[in-house]
């Protein structure tokens, strides 16, 4: 195979998909163009655009789900606020790996963390009339902004790149002091940039959330996957860091998709702090007659959207969490593979003149994990994305994620063993076409 692939082949794919400006393509458009090029040329694409698990589902979960189906749960409506065993195990799992106390009542099994984000935005936006705006600490998962659009909610956003550490306080306060922020959302580890907010930063967020009475939605989609530390030993430090240590106004989104490679079954837990669960808000009382945050979340919103989470999958997640808390299932051992891949890929990119965009956590080198970010001298993110496609390399531009930096997000989940060598060869060809100074 000669690199780069002829431009007319790529242009044909772009034209056929009616993409006006490929440098601004969405994930799905990049996937579609790559698929077209793959079909046309037989080229093996190095896929780094999709953030989906590339490992088999945890067997403990699959077995528990099959057993539940054999036991007849398919006909029985799940209890709305969740299988008691899963609620109990989720509460225990949170204690074991985050060292937070959230009672089982507030641990709600939901249809993927996507649903808990949607519901959290929805309810937070109804709590108080003057608080009508979501604050995104970016970069972030683009679909969460789409959720705000679906709901017709306003949002504010800033790229945290220039506001790590103490600088975060003033920046956050500039938004919160306006009094219109219903909730703050961020992911930790960060999707797409894989930096991790530190205790000192979470403390700032938590204390300001209390001061300005806003709700923090902590998206733990990549729970405990900061592989620099061993976060996988139950009931023993170090723990996954959380804003829950610094405020009562929080809820955690714990996904089964990445940590347990259980994305297919759409199962996650929304864990609402005890105080937030029981808190009354004037807007909720006005709309629903009565109701605390937790009861509106469960009995009004969750009931009205999906009436519970799929029954059998709840048994799967309960079994996985129980085994993890019991110390019988080292769930991080499987997903550490992502970290190993990231290390190898980053080294290859770095050897070919690329840089890591989000490269440190307050001076400490960033972790190797599910995602990493790359840049190339003299190219915008959009240009770099488009320039790599002819070399059979796909990733998404950071500017689709709320980042102001020029670069790409690359995901390690689909990388196959033979592709390090391919990447090496292709980046060598890339350097010839786009020589370094």
Q: Is 316 in the site for its own copies (CB under 8 A)?
A: yes
Please state the φ and ψ torsions of residue 69, each to the nearest 5 degrees: -65, -45
378 vs 367: CA distance, rounded Å: 26
Instruction: Please give, one letter per residue, the 3-state secondary structure of 321-335.
Output: HHHHHCCCCCHHHHH
Nearer to its own copies, 1 or 74 (CB): 74
Q: Is 427 in the site for its own copies (CB under 8 A)?
A: no
**DSSP string computed for 154-213:** EEEEEEGGG--TTHHHHHHHHHHTTS-EEEEEEESSPTTT-----HHHHHHHHHHHHHTT
Q: Is 25 in the site for its own copies (CB under 8 A)?
A: no
For the bound state, the minimum distance from the C-beta of residue 169 to its own copies, rounded and expressed in Å, comes to 31
Q: Is 332 in the site for its own copies (CB under 8 A)?
A: no
Give how many residues touch its own copies by CB under 8 A.
Answer: 54
Q: Alpha carbon 15 to chain centroid distance?
A: 31
Binding test (CB under 8 A) with its own copies, winner from 47, 131, 300, 346: 300
Binding test (CB under 8 A) with its own copies, winner from 1, 69, 350, 433: 69
Nearer to its own copies, 244 or 310 (CB): 310
Q: Please, is 23 exposed, middle or buried when counting C-beta atoms within 10 Å of its C-beta (0-12, 13-18, 19+)?
A: middle
Q: Is 121 helix (H, G, I), strand (E, B) or coil?
A: helix
| Near its own copies in 70-89, by CB under 8 A | 70, 72-78
For the bound state, the minimum distance from the C-beta of residue 377 to its own copies, rounded and expressed in Å, comes to 33
For the bound state, the minimum distance from the C-beta of residue 395 to its own copies, rounded and expressed in Å, comes to 18
Nearer to its own copies, 67 or 343 (CB): 67
For the bound state, the minimum distance from the C-beta of residue 327 to its own copies, rounded and expressed in Å, comes to 23
Q: Angle between the 142-151 and 112-127 helix axes, to the nearest 10 degrees? A: 50
Binding test (CB under 8 A) with its own copies, winner from 82, 109, 206, 310: 310
| Near its own copies in 99-118, by CB under 8 A | 111-112, 114-115, 118
| Near its own copies in 156-185, by CB under 8 A | none
Q: Is 349 in the site for its own copies (CB under 8 A)?
A: no
Please state the φ and ψ torsions of residue 14, each to the nearest 5 degrees: -65, -45
Q: Is 435 in the site for its own copies (CB under 8 A)?
A: no
- Is residue 207 within 8 A of residue 241, CB to CB? The reply is no
Run of H or E including 408: strand 408-411
| Near its own copies in 255-274, by CB under 8 A | 257, 261-267
- Is residue 199 within 8 A of residue 146, CB to CB? The reply is no
- How open is the CA angle 152-157-159, to the nearest 5 degrees? 155
For the bound state, the minimum distance from the C-beta of residue 52 to its own copies, rounded and expressed in Å, comes to 5
Q: Is 286 in the site for its own copies (CB under 8 A)?
A: no
For the bound state, the minimum distance from the C-beta of residue 368 to its own copies, rounded and expressed in Å, comes to 21
Using CA atoms, how far residue 115 sits from 53, 81, 146, 259, in Å, is: 18, 14, 13, 18
**DSSP string computed for 221-248:** TTTT--TTS---STTSSS----GGGT-S
Question: In which residue are the tokens 């307050």 written?
Answer: 362
432 vs 185: CA distance, rounded Å: 42
Q: Is 122 in the site for its own copies (CB under 8 A)?
A: yes
Q: Is 62 in the site for its own copies (CB under 8 A)?
A: yes
Nearer to its own copies, 246 or 302 (CB): 302
The residue ranges that bind its own copies (CB under 8 A) are 52-53, 55-57, 61-62, 65-66, 69-70, 72-78, 111-112, 114-115, 118, 122, 143, 146-147, 149-150, 152, 257, 261-267, 287-288, 300-301, 303-313, 316
């Amino acid at each position: 195979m000669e690199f780069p692939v002829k431009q007319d082949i790529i242009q044909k794919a772009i034209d056929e998909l009616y993409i006006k400006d490929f440098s601004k393509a969405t994930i799905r458009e990049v996937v579609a163009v790559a698929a077209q090029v793959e079909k046309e040329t037989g080229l093996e694409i190095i896929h780094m655009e999709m953030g989906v698990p590339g490992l088999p589902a945890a067997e403990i979960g699959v077995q528990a789900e099959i057993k539940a189906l054999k036991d007849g749960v398919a006909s029985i409506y799940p209890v709305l606020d969740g299988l008691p065993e899963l609620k109990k195990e989720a509460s225990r799992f949170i204690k074991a790996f985050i060292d937070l106390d959230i009672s089982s009542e507030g641990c709600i099994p939901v249809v993927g963390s996507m649903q808990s984000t949607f519901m959290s935005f929805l309810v937070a936006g109804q709590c108080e009339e003057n608080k009508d705006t979501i604050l995104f600490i970016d970069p972030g998962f683009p679909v969460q902004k789409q959720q705000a659009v679906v709901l017709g909610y306003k949002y504010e956003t800033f790229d945290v790149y220039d506001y790590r550490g103490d600088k975060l306080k003033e920046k956050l306060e500039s938004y919160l002091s306006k009094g219109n922020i219903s909730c703050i959302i961020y992911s930790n580890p960060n999707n797409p940039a894989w930096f991790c907010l530190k205790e000192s930063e979470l403390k700032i967020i938590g204390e300001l959330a209390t001061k300005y009475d806003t709700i923090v939605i902590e998206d733990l989609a990549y729970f405990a996957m900061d592989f620099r530390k061993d976060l996988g030993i139950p009931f023993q430090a170090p723990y996954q860091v959380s804003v829950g240590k610094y405020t009562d106004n929080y809820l955690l989104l714990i996904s089964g998709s990445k940590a347990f490679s259980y994305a297919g079954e759409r199962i996650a837990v929304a864990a609402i702090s005890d105080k937030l669960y029981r808190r009354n808000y004037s807007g909720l009382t006005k709309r629903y007659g009565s109701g605390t945050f937790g009861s509106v979340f469960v009995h009004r919103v969750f009931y009205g959207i999906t009436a519970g989470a799929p029954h059998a999958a709840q048994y799967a997640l309960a079994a996985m969490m129980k085994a993890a808390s019991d110390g019988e299932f080292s769930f991080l051992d499987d997903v550490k593979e992502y970290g190993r891949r990231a290390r190898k890929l980053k080294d290859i990119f770095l050897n070919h003149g690329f840089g890591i965009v989000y490269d440190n956590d307050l001076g400490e080198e960033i972790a190797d994990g599910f995602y990493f970010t790359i840049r190339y001298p003299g190219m915008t993110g959009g240009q770099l994305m488009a320039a790599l496609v002819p070399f059979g390399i796909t990733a998404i531009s950071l500017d689709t994620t709320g980042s102001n930096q020029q670069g790409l997000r690359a995901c390690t989940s689909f990388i196959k063993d033979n592709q390090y060598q391919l990447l090496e060869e292709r980046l060598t060809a890339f350097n010839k076409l786009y020589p370094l100074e």
